[in-house]
Copies of this chain bind each other. A is one copy, B any other.
Amino acid sequence: MKNFLSFADAGDYKALLNQALEIKKNPYGYQHVGKNKTVGLIFFNPSLRTRLSSLKAAYNLGAQAWVLNAGADSWTLEMADGAVMNGSTQEHIKDAIAVMSQYCDVLGVRTFPTLKDKEADYSEEVMSKILQYATVPVISLESATLHPLQSFADLITVAETKKKERVKVVLTWAPHVRALPQCVPNSFADWFSEIDWVDFVITHPHGYELDPKFTKGATIEYDQRKALEGADYVQAKNWSSYRDYGQILNNDPSWMLTNEHMRGTDNAKFIHCLPVRRNVEVSDEVLDAPGSLIIQEAGNRTFSMQTVLHELLKQK
């Protein structure tokens, strides 16, 4: 593993998943790998789970860590190559990233999409520059289009709870009050469409089709009830339109996941990356049911990060 930005970087996902399950059983047993290592974490926007699980993962591994809130703690960054910096930006990302690389052994970065410039977002303009200038391995803590640590944590959660050889996993769009990125559903599709013991189905209203480079031919079923039939796992999540980029096309409240929707499943477990808008995306009854794995799933963020850190640091 060189960097960790998408499913492709996982390499042999079965080996990585087994490593994660091993690390979860023995979280403090790998501290020889983290000794004298420093994990750098840069946030361009707020974070709770990613920030704290990354710190916990570093600590479990015996490493140290620092967190930088870009903008608030440090300087406003210039992104354009060749810019004459006579405006409000104070430091070029080229210099900032190269410098930060001096102070850590691996760099986690959270960026975000514009939701306005599809081209810039889907070319991962900011993350690409970070990769270009970093001199240590880079971990995506969520980028403009993907959130691989979340999907890896979802995979760990499904793997450690499944009761059948094969499971049906459904990703269902959910209403929301704001236009959200496609990162989580893109990434979920990027991972779950590749897992050979998963039957993967995506359901959403017309117009919310995700980028085919992430769905990779997964079944798309526009009838939510039909999609949920016999599901073993349901992940609900809002996203804005990829086609009409960043737009909220419809916000049909009947798509809010409720017990009534869950009735057609095979007593499915519920997962969600959080934060969740309760009683807008998903009803309280689903979120608080015994079959809801949301807290265990959040807990697995520690182990997806710790496994990735372990891979990247053991090579050093």
Do A48 and B102 form a contact, CB below 8 Å, given A66-B55, A78-B278? no
Asked if A48 contacts B85 (CB within 8 A), the reply is no
* CB interface residues, A 21-71, toward B, < 8 Å: 27-28, 36, 38, 40, 43, 46-49, 51-53, 55-56, 59-60, 64, 66, 68-69
Query: In whole angstroms, how far apart are the Cα atoms of A277 and B90 in the complex?
Result: 7
Query: In whole angstroms, how far apart are the Cα atoms of A183 and B46 in the complex?
Result: 30
* CB interface residues, A 56-99, toward B, < 8 Å: 56, 59-60, 64, 66, 68-69, 72-75, 78, 82-87, 90-92, 95-96, 98-99
Cβ distance A189 to chain B, nearest Cβ, rounded Å: 24
Query: In whole angstroms, how far apart are the Cα atoms of A135 and B53 in the complex?
Result: 16
Closest residue on chain B to residue A300 by CB atoms? B102
Contact of A275 among B48, B90, B276, B284 (CB under 8 A): B90
- A177 touches B (CB below 8 Å): yes
Listed from nearest, the 6 A-B pairs whose CB atoms lie closest are: A91-B275, A102-B299, A48-B74, A59-B64, A52-B103, A85-B277
Which A residues have a C-beta under 8 Å from some C-beta of B? 27-28, 36, 38, 40, 43, 46-49, 51-53, 55-56, 59-60, 64, 66, 68-69, 72-75, 78, 82-87, 90-92, 95-96, 98-100, 102-104, 135, 177, 274-280, 284, 287, 294-295, 298-299, 301-302
